[in-house]
Chains A and B, each alone.
Chain A
C-alpha cells in the first residue's frame, strides 16, 4: 500500500539556533580592508536591522529540504498523467550535461568568440526544431510556453502593423478547448479574444468559425491535437479560411508529443509555432519551471519593397553561422524584431536537456516516442472505457493521440463522487492525478496523458484503481469523500487558504495577522 512520508516538519524559520550558520563567507583580506578603510554608504540608506532570516547549520538545511522532498511527488516517484503537461521521464544524462561548468560559468554578455561550442549546440537545436515543426526559423529566446505564445501574438501584431492594417485587425480566434494561456496571451498582446465552440465530434465547429472570421480577424491559436487528444481534421480548411482574411495561424506546441513524425505544424498551414522543451523534449518541470518555449516561424514575405520577412520579427537573438569567419554569431533584426522578452538569450539549461534528448533519439526515435505515447493512450482507453461511472465524450471509438479526457459525470450524477474525489482516490493509491476540470467543455473532466515513458504495468494499475474507485463510489460514496488518507496531509482547506481573514501568503503575514487570532501561536 502507498504511504507518503508525513513529517511534522517545521518551517525553516522555526528551526536553528542563535548564531548558527550554514555557509562561511570569507573575510576580506587585510590589505583590501585597509585600502578601502570602511563602509561609506550614507546612513540614510544603510540597513540597520538585519533581515529576519533563520540561523541554521548546513546539516539542518540538508535534512529540512530532504524531508520536504520526501513529501513531494514527481515523475521519479511514479506516474504523473497530467494531461497536456506531458510529464515524461527526464533522462539523467541530460541533467549531468546541463550541469557542466562550461555552461554554468558562461556569462550572457561574454564575448561571442569565446562561446563557440555553446553557440554550435544552439544553432543545431534551432535547425532540429525547425525540421521537427516544419518551420523555417526558430528563436530559442522565450522562457516558457506562455512566453512563446506571447512572442507569437506580438509577431502577429507586428505583421499587421507592418502591413498597416492593425487598426482593423483586432481579434484573435481561440477554440473553447484551448489552454488558458492562449486567451491570456492574446489579451496581453492587446487583442480581443473570440471563442469558437467545439462541435459534437470535438473538432472546431466550422459553421461557428466561419461566422466569426472576418476583416477584424488578426489570427487564430490552436493546439493540434487538441486538449481532447483529437486531431483537428479540418485544419487545412481552417488555415485557408484564416489566410483568406490575411490572418496568421498560431500553433500551440503543448501537444506536439502526439504527432511528431507523422505531420508537422508547418505542413498543416501554421505560420508560427512554439515548442515546450519541458514537455516534448524531456526537460524536467522543476515543480513549475524553469521551462523553455522556443518560437518558430514559416518564412513569409511581409513587405516586398522593404524586404521584410516573418523571420525578421522573431524575438531575442538567433544563432547564425558566418561562412566567412567560420564563427557562430548572434543576430537580431532590431528594426523589425518584436524585441526582447527577457534580458538574455534564453533558458539554456532546459535547452541543453532538449538538445540531449533530441540528439540521443534522432528523427527515428522521436517518431517512436509519438507512436508509443499514442499507443499507451489508446491502450488505457481500452482498459477504462467500460468502467461504470466514466464516460469518454466526443466518441468512445475515435482514436486519441497523446491524451484522453474522461468524464466522471455519470459517477457524479449517480453517487455524488466528483472528479476531484476521483483525483484524491488516485493520490491515495500512490499515483498523481490527471488534470481535472479541464477542458471546461467536459463536465467532471479527467484529462489523462501517460506519454511514451509510462510502463504497461503502471497503466494497468492506474486503470485498476479507477475501477476500484468506481466500485467504492457506487457502494460507499462517503468513503470517497475521505480520500486521501495516505498522503502527507489530508484534504487541504482551500476556503481557509483564500479567505481574506486567514490569507497567509508569507510567514510574516501569518505571524502578524493569522496565528494569534486563531490561537495557533
Chain B
C-alpha cells in the first residue's frame, strides 16, 4: 500500500529504516507467533467485505455517506416525540468548544498536571449540576439516565446490605424498566411496582405504604413521570421512604428544575437523570449523559459508581484538580469495584457544563417557563379540537398524553396521516399502558414555536374532520 495520511510511517523509506534497526527482514516476522491454523491469509482478508476493501479518499467517502444520509428524514422542528429524549436547541458555542482538539482527543486524565483544563471542566460540570439538583456530590457521568438509574439501584443494595427489595413506580419510563431488569438480573433482588393513581397520574401513596417494608433497600420516583406529570408529593414520599430506613432515589429532567423543586430539597439520597436536554443533540439515542448525584454522606459516596474529580492543591500551593476516590473504581479495586464503568460520557458532561454556564441563574428558569407555556398552549389548543388531553388531573411539564379513542381509529392511522404532512407525531404508549387505550405522548419544547404548534393542531383537526365525514 502507498503511504496513508493517517499512517505517517507507512512510506517505504521509513519502514525499511525501522525494520533495519530492529533487525528483521519483513513485517510478517512480527506475527510468526500466531499459530498457522488460526491465521487469516492476506488474500482471504483482502477480499472480506470491510469498507470498500481498499483505502479511498475523503472526497469519495463523503459522497458515499452523503448519499445515505440523504435518505434520512429530519422532522425537527415538526417532531413531537419525547419519552426520554427531547428535541432541544443546542447553542452554537457548545459544538464549537467541544470540538477543540484538546478536549476532543484527550483521554481520561490519569496525569493531572498536564490535564488541568479538562479536569477543571469536569469539576465544573459536577459543581454546576450539584447546584441545579441541590445535591452535594455528582460523578462525572454515566452512559444515560437508564443506566444511571440501574447503577443507583445496585448501589442501594450495597448501602443497605441486608435488604433485597426495590420499589419502582409504575408510571416510570417503561424503557428504563427494561434496562433496570437487565442490570439487576444477576442479583437476588425483588422488584415491585407501586401503582399510580388513575385520576391524578401520580404515585398512589396508599399503595406505596402497603408495599414498602423493612426489606426495601430503595424507592424510586420519576418526576416529571413518564406521562410528563410532576410528582407533587415527592417530599411526602421521601419521608415515607426514610421512615423505614430505605433510600429515596429521584429521576429528574434537568430543565424542569428551573421551575420544580430540586431533588436535594425534596430529600432525595440519590438523584439520576438524562443530561441530553442540556446541549446535546438527539443523535438517534446517543451519546447521551447519565446524571448521577448523592448527598455528602461517606456511606453513600464510597459506594458511588463512576469517576469523580476533586479540587485540591499542587505542591507549590496553587489550586489544582485531580481524580479522587479512585479506590472505588475498577482499575484499582477490580472485582470489588462499585461498578465496571471506565469510558463514560465525559465530553457530553463538558457540553452540559457549558450549557448551564450559558443559561445561568435566570436562563434555566426562563427556559423552563417557556417550555411550560408552549406545552400548556398545545394542550389547550388540542382540547379545543376535541381531543382528550386531560387524562390526568394534575400539572405536567414538557409532555402529556393525548387519548384518541373518541375519534374512531387506531392511533397508527393518525401517525400515518401526520407523516404524510411531514409532521412526526408523538409516541404511542398504548402497548405499555393498555389501560390508557389509544394514547400517545406528545412533547413540546423551546424549539416549537406557536406556529409549529398551530400547524400540528390544524393537521390533527383535519384528520378528525375527515373521519367525521
Contact = CB atoms under 8 A, between A and B. Distances in A.
Nearest to A338: B182
B104 A74 contact: yes
Contact of A343 (B50, B90, B176, B282): B176
B7 to A, nearest CB: 5
A327 B22 CA distance: 53
Most chain A CB within a 10 A radius of its CB, from B65, B296, B314: B65
Given A145-B343, A360-B61, A376-B18, 5 more contacts: A20-B360, A56-B358, A102-B69, A356-B61, A505-B309
Interface stretch (A188-196, A298-306, A404-412, A468-476): A188-196
Contacts of B350: 65, 287
B467 interface: no
B260 A368 contact: no
Interface bracket on B: 35 or more
Contacts of A448: none
Nearest to B309: A505
A268 interface: yes
Complex A-B, nearest 6 residue pairs according to Cβ-Cβ distance, in ascending order:
A344-B285, A190-B186, A76-B101, A286-B347, A108-B285, A117-B71
Contacts of A185: 340
A39 B52 CA distance: 57
A269 to B, nearest CB: 8
B192 interface: no
A122 B325 CA distance: 38
B335 A187 contact: yes
A287 B51 contact: no
A365 B127 contact: no
B314 A493 contact: yes
B365 interface: yes
Contact of B73 (A99, A114, A436): A114
Given A143-B144, A359-B65, A340 B358 contact: no
Contacts of A82: 107, 110
B430 to A, nearest CB: 14
Given A180-B337, A358-B50, A490-B316, A147 B113 contact: no
A438 B331 contact: yes
Contacts of A363: 45-48, 50-51, 53
Interface string A353-384: 00110111111111111011011101101110
29 contacts: A13-B127, A22-B357, A22-B358, A23-B359, A25-B363, A41-B232, A41-B260, A47-B260, A54-B360, A65-B97, A72-B102, A77-B101, A93-B58, A101-B74, A121-B68, A143-B143, A143-B345, A146-B341, A184-B340, A343-B173, A372-B7, A398-B33, A427-B113, A432-B114, A456-B18, A492-B320, A498-B324, A505-B308, A507-B124
Interface stretch (A240-248, A386-394, A481-489): A481-489
B330 A11 contact: no
A364 B46 contact: yes
B284 A344 contact: yes
Contact of B37 (A236, A399, A456): A236
B79 interface: yes
B313 A21 contact: no
Interface string B115-153: 111101111101110111010111011011111000000
A65 B286 CA distance: 24
A105 B72 CA distance: 10
B76 interface: yes
Nearest to B287: A290
B4 interface: yes
Interface in B149-181: 154, 173, 175-176, 178-179, 181
A342 B143 contact: yes
Nearest to A378: B22
Interface string B317-358: 010111011000111111111011111111110100110111
A251 interface: no
Given A286-B104, A502-B312, A105 B322 contact: no
Interface string A140-166: 000111110110001001000000000
Given A53-B360, A504-B311, A505-B301, A115 B72 contact: yes
B282 A105 contact: yes
B106 A287 contact: yes
Given A22-B363, A103-B72, A368-B10, A507 B127 contact: yes
Contacts of A76: 101-102, 104-105
Contact of B8 (A85, A287, A455, A496): A455
A264 interface: yes
Given A184-B340, A342-B143, A438-B331, A73 B373 contact: no
Interface in A93-110: 93, 95, 97, 99-110
A132 B44 CA distance: 12
Say which size band chain A's interface belongs to: 35 or more
B362 interface: yes
B127 A508 contact: yes
A276 to B, nearest CB: 8
Nearest to A121: B68
Contact of A32 (B99, B122, B123, B374): B374
Interface in B256-271: 257-262, 265
Contact of B331 (A55, A114, A180): A180
Contacts of B126: 505-506
B102 A345 contact: no
Interface in A387-425: 398-399, 401, 423-424
Nearest to B146: A343
B9 interface: yes
Interface stretch (B23-31, B203-211, B213-221, B401-409): B23-31
Contact of B347 (A4, A71, A289, A503): A289
Given A287-B109, A359-B51, A97 B62 contact: yes
Given A93-B58, A111-B419, A285-B105, A103 B38 contact: no
B421 interface: no
A50 B362 contact: yes
B283 A349 contact: yes
Given A69-B102, A70-B102, A146-B341, A506 B130 contact: yes
B65 A121 contact: yes
A131 B49 CA distance: 7
Contact of B377 (A35, A286, A288, A432): A35
B344 A489 contact: no
B97 A362 contact: no
A180 B105 CA distance: 23
A484 B340 contact: no
Contacts of B54: 362, 364-365
A506 B232 contact: no
B8 A453 contact: yes
A274 to B, nearest CB: 12
Interface stretch (B81-89, B241-249, B431-439, B458-466): B81-89
Interface in A167-203: 179-181, 183-191, 193
B339 A51 contact: no
Contact of B38 (A236, A278, A496): A236
A423 B141 CA distance: 27
Contacts of B91: 22-23
A487 B114 contact: yes
A143 B286 contact: yes
A457 to B, nearest CB: 9
Given A22-B358, A339-B181, A487-B114, A504 B312 contact: yes
A53 B6 contact: no
B21 interface: yes
B417 interface: no
B395 interface: yes
Nearest to B33: A231
Interface string A26-40: 111101110110011
B366 interface: yes
